[in-house]
Amino acid sequence: MAEFTMELNDEQKEVQSWLHGFAADVIRPAAAEWDEREETPWPVIQEAAKVGIYSLDFYAQQYFDPTGLGIPMAMEELFWGDAGIALSIVGTGLAAVGVLANGTEEQIGTWIPQMYGDANDVKVAAFCSSEPDAGSDVASMRTRAVYDEARDEWVLNGTKTWATNGGIANVHVVVAVVDPDLGSKGHASFIVPPNTPGLSQGQKFKKHGIRASHTAEVVLDDVRVPGSCLLGGKEKLDERLARARERAKQNGERVKNAAMATFEASRPAVGAMAVGTARAAYEVALDYATTREQFGRPIIDNQGVAFQLADMRTQIDAARLLVWRASWMAVNGKPFTAAEGSMSKLFASETAKKVTAQAIQILGGNGYTREYPVERMHRDAAIYTIFEGTSEIQRLVIARTLSGMPIR
């Protein structure tokens, strides 16, 4: 087990500086344009692919870094550049993790390269879990997967919503119900290969922030995928379902509640994205406060402004500490006895919303315009308290973990 450290090693510092350079030179200058266009920034993804940032190798290297700091460091730097573009770059990684975590070696080898494509022909992937009536309440999912034994195929039917890269992805990872009696324990994940008939994009959402990231409904109408597209394979699924049925007989409530803790290990990564956005806005505000003069002196000379900046920086550093601790715990298999993953996401996302709003205030009228980036950062920051579990759901998970009570 790697010792917990707050110090990046030399190799990590090198990667951090490389990522920061890409974020500063390529992502940040393109941010306003793609925010206005509300389209996937394919040329920027392609640039990232050319230098090796948009690739399975890079993502896996950070994901398996034993210190746990690889992913949060990378997320913070890319999202410091711009949240919408960065989500377009890392969105595929979030789908790839679904395959890395649950897939067989063959599935990993077959599908993940197709998620990324290559530098000359980049592709993206989508992870489709949320549904119109199953957001926070994952157990209410309705999309069904039924096994057609005669043809060794699964047939998927339902509507997914809010899918990042949904409908434009080369590969979709779809979560569906295989046993409706088991709540979230009766779910399984499937690969939907490129150009599979029956999968189509529904509504594309026009959003408040992260507008360079494509978010859409995905409609599954009698989508047939080979048996080999069930992540982990049929034998493993049957064993898991048998265990879940046994446990459901003994303790129904526990099965129902398990879903909310499922994402505990992936939540620090979202916390790190929020830290990146918060840090970006804080830096703009600090710079502005030291150069903008009113009443014959820089506005930072006023405690009212200086103390805000002190609080902003303190909260950003505290958020990063929680994120790094949770990431180290996740990678080193430490049990989340106080829901530390949820804690990190809750604190970092709320911090990003607060800090970006303070940044607008410090920039005054300029902060309220699109001439300066902080209003975009504030719009972007609002997503962090919503996706991968809302702030209320994080509090629910933390409170349940601490108390052992089925708090509602």
Ligand X SMILES: Cc1cc2nc3c(=O)[nH]c(=O)nc-3n(C[C@H](O)[C@H](O)[C@H](O)COP(=O)(O)OP(=O)(O)OC[C@H]3O[C@@H](n4cnc5c(N)ncnc54)[C@H](O)[C@@H]3O)c2cc1C
The footprint of ligand X (CB under 6 A) covers 127-130, 135-136, 162-164, 207, 210, 215, 383, 386-390, 392-393, 396
Per the CB < 8 A criterion, the answer to whether 260 and 339 are in contact is no
CA distances from 174 to 98, 105, 161, 374 (A): 10, 19, 11, 35
CB of 233 to ligand X, least distance (A): 23
Tell me the C-alpha to C-alpha distance, in Å, between residue 217 and each of 43, 159, 205: 24, 7, 8
Which residue sits closest to ligand X, CB atoms considered?
Answer: 135
Closest CB 159 distance from ligand X, rounded Å: 12
Q: Hey, what amino acid is at 262?
A: T
Cα Rg of the chain, angstroms: 22
At 237, the amino acid letter reads: L
CA 367 – CA 375 distance, rounded (Å): 6
- Classify strands 144-148 and 125-128 as parallel, antiparallel or unpaired: unpaired
Query: Whose Cβ is closer to ligand X: residue 11's or residue 392's?
Result: 392
Residue 10 Cβ vs ligand X, minimum distance, rounded to whole Å:
35
Q: Report the residue number, 65 or 388, with the smaller CB distance to ligand X.
A: 388
Q: Is 106 a catalytic residue?
A: no
What are the φ and ψ backbone dihedral angles of 176, each rounded to 5 degrees? Answer: -140, 165
Determine the Cα–Cα distance for residues 343 and 321; give it in Å rounded to an integer. Answer: 11
CB atoms within 10 A of CB 221: 12
Q: Name which of 207 and 313 has its Cβ closer to ligand X.
A: 207
> In the complex with ligand X, which residue's Cβ is closer, 84 or 103?
84
The least CB distance from residue 180 to ligand X, in Å, is 19
| Nearer CB in complex with ligand X: 47/388 | 388
Which residue's CB is nearer to ligand X, number 207 or number 354? 207
Minimum distance of ligand X from residue 202's CB (angstroms): 14
Residue with tokens 């909260």: 315
Residue 61 or 136: which CB sits closer to ligand X? 136
Q: Is the Cβ–Cβ distance between 362 and 305 less than 8 Å?
A: yes
Cα angle: 303, vertex 308, 312; to 5 degrees: 150
Residue for token digits 């110090």?
A: 7
> Smallest gap, in angstroms, from Cβ of residue 207 to ligand X?
6
**317-to-5, 231, 310, 398 alpha-carbon distances in Å:** 15, 38, 11, 21
Per DSSP, what are the bridge partners of residue 219?
Answer: 159, 200
Which candidate in 76, 131, 350, 388 is catalytic? Answer: 388
Pick 76 or 388: Cβ nearer ligand X: 388
Sequence-ordered list of residues with C-beta below 8 angstroms from that of 279, at least 6 positions apart, any chain = 76, 80, 316
Q: How far is the CB of 376 from ligand X (least distance, A)?
A: 15
* CA–CA dist 269, 266 (Å, integer): 6
We find the least distance from the C-beta atom of residue 152 to ligand X, in angstroms, to be 27
Residues contacting residue 140 through CB under 8 Å, at least 6 positions apart: 131, 133, 134
Beta bridge partners of 128: 174
**Encoding tokens for residue 259?**
């879903």
Classify 214 as helix, strand or coil.
Answer: coil
| Catalytic residue ranges | 388
